[in-house]
């Protein structure tokens, strides 16, 4: 029975948990970049080391290295930001839409579309 590999999501989650413990609660995750160097196995412990790279008023940056048997298997760099009010918005607000269970099946939708007087004649045959 071969060695079992470690699930990457578990390594990411544990690395992030280790990094979060080193920043003030007022700062929240802003971005993270993960690099899997080699596969980890479940036959030995993973040691997580957090290196504080920057602690500013608004941002904090951490590098986390996961090692197994003294060998790096994963590196993450993450940035934390203090929540600040801003008038700058980079995304649209999600429109109100019906839940999936209230939407007509695709066949019914296309039949209704083909029956619509605004539907071009050339579309009606493919829609039906």
Q: In the structure encoding, which two tokens stand for residue 23, read together? A: 């920043």
Are 16 and 48 in contact by the 8 Å Cβ rule? The answer is no
Q: How many CA atoms lie within 13 A of 67 on its CB side?
A: 10
pLDDT tens per residue, range 30-48:
999 999 999 999 889 999 9
pLDDT tens per residue, range 60-86:
999 999 999 999 999 999 999 998 877
Q: Which segments of the chain does DSSP mark as H helices, in order?
A: 8-20, 106-115, 121-127
In this prediction the pTM is: 0.65
24, exposed or middle or buried, with CB in 10 Å at 0-12, 13-18, 19+?
exposed
């Amino acid at each position: 029975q071969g060695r079992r590999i470690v699930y990457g999501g578990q390594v990411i989650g544990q690395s992030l948990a280790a990094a979060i413990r080193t920043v003030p609660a007022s700062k929240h995750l802003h971005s993270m970049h993960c690099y899997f160097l080699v596969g980890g196995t479940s036959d030995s412990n993973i040691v997580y080391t957090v290196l504080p790279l920057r602690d500013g008023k608004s941002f904090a940056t951490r590098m986390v290295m996961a090692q197994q048997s003294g060998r790096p298997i994963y590196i993450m760099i993450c940035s934390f930001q203090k929540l600040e009010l801003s008038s700058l918005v980079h995304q649209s607000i999600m429109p109100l839409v019906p839940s999936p269970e209230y939407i007509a099946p695709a066949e019914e939708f296309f039949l209704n579309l083909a029956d619509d007087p605004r539907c071009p004649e050339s579309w009606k045959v493919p829609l039906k």
